[in-house]
């Protein structure tokens, strides 16, 4: 089911905001000249005192994929798409917002929990402290498609036991050689996160066992949703103490427990922890009898003026 940007959709729907890994150079080319889009990205640029359009339009890809750049850029583009969407489809009021990982911050911003400038500064800080734990190239994430979750969990345990308590050290940075289940995107797609060595061992084992399994390396520069980033929690908690946070104007689903946020204090607590612990909006899909959404639409159609997303797609 889809709809044209000038149209409308009836029934209870949810809008989903993308996380890191959805970015690409030139992804906003179609929308570049639209004032409502450029204004959102300029707001973020002004807040960070840099020209985000330069990276969005021209890259290079390696710079765009650095966490400290990707997070504010994905936020800016997602909110820009939401503003365009809401302007062109005035009769449509979503029943829920949700987001994959970083996309939760975009969802909360669209729901006016944060102002866009506050959110841009927040996700830049979040990205910088996450990247400070490891060095680019030392850790990563891979999507495993077509391999059972329980088998993956056992395999990760086996790899971690084989590495025992070994660590990766680069200068003053030191972190464990581990691989963990990071995201459960669906029953057939699980994302692993960890050090490069541990990921390589896990991928090798999966390929040896899984005959119809596909492995996709994600374009990220940190081991998101892994315990390697545990030190980030305290730093983010202190940052959140200084923020003016409002209750979402549109019910927003937490990545932490796949439930609607019930209070501002819950937002303060859970959004600082989802960088390390993550249930995923897969739980949102699976428990849709509770939310009763007719359709799910992603705010990620960078290169087309049509959203045509099927439910759960």
Kindly state whether residues 155 and 80 are assigned to the same domain.
Answer: no
66 Cβ contact partners less than 8 Å away, ≥ 6 residues apart:
131, 136, 221
Does any domain span residue 187? Answer: yes
**Residues designated catalytic:** 101, 225
pLDDT digits (tens, 9 = 90+) for 47-91: 999 999 999 999 999 999 988 999 999 999 999 999 998 888 887
Give the Cα separation of 287 and 290 in Å (integer): 6
Does any domain span residue 225? Answer: no
Does any domain span residue 158? Answer: yes
Crossing angle between the packed helical segments 116-133 and 67-88, to the nearest 10 degrees = 150
CATH number at 192 reads: 3.30.70.250
pLDDT digits (tens, 9 = 90+) for 270-309: 887 755 445 555 555 555 455 555 555 666 654 433 333 3
Kindly state whether residues 93 and 205 are assigned to the same domain.
Answer: no
Kindly state whether residues 128 and 256 are assigned to the same domain.
Answer: yes
Read off the pLDDT band of 8 (50, 70, 90).
Answer: very low
Kindly state whether residues 251 and 214 are assigned to the same domain.
Answer: no
pLDDT for the residue numbered 179:
96
The number of CA neighbours under 13 Å toward the Cβ of 202 is 35
pTM over 0.95: no
Q: Residue 128 sits in which domain range? A: 3-133+230-307
Q: What are phi and psi of 168, to 5 degrees?
A: -105, 130
Other beta carbons within 10 angstroms of residue 125's beta carbon come to 16
Does any domain span residue 239? Answer: yes
pLDDT digits (tens, 9 = 90+) for 156-213: 999 999 998 788 777 667 888 999 998 887 778 899 999 999 999 999 999 998 778 9
| The pair of three-digit structure tokens given for residue 70, joined into one six-digit string | 């990707």
């Amino acid at each position: 089911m889809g709809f044209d940007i000038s149209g409308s959709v009836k029934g209870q729907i949810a809008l989903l905001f993308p996380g890191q890994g959805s970015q690409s150079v030139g992804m906003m080319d179609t929308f570049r000249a639209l004032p409502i889009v450029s204004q959102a990205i300029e707001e973020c640029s002004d807040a960070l005192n840099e020209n985000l359009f330069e990276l969005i339009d021209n890259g290079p890809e390696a710079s765009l994929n650095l966490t400290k750049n990707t997070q504010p850029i994905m936020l800016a583009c997602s909110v820009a798409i939401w503003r365009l969407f809401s302007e062109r489809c005035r009769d449509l009021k979503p029943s829920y917002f949700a987001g994959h990982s970083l996309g939760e911050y975009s969802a909360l911003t669209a729901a006016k929990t944060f102002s866009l400038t506050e959110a841009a500064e927040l996700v830049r800080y979040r990205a910088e402290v996450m990247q400070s734990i490891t060095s680019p190239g030392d850790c990563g994430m891979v999507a495993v498609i077509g391999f059972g979750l329980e088998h993956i969990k056992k395999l990760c345990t086996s790899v971690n036991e084989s590495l025992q308590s070994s660590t990766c050290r680069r200068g003053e940075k030191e972190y464990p050689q581990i691989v963990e289940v990071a995201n459960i995107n669906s029953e057939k797609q699980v994302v692993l996160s960890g050090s490069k060595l541990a990921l390589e061992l896990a991928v090798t084992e999966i390929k040896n066992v899984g005959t119809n399994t596909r492995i996709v390396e994600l374009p990220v520069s940190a081991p998101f949703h892994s315990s390697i980033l545990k030190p980030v929690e305290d730093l983010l908690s202190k940052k959140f103490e200084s923020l003016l946070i409002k209750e979402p104007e549109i019910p927003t689903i937490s990545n932490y427990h796949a439930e609607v946020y019930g209070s501002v204090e819950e937002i303060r607590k859970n959004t600082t922890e989802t960088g390390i612990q993550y249930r995923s909006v897969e739980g949102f899909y699976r428990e849709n009898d509770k939310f009763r959404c007719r359709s799910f639409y992603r705010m990620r159609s960078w290169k087309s003026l049509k959203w045509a997303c099927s439910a759960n797609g």
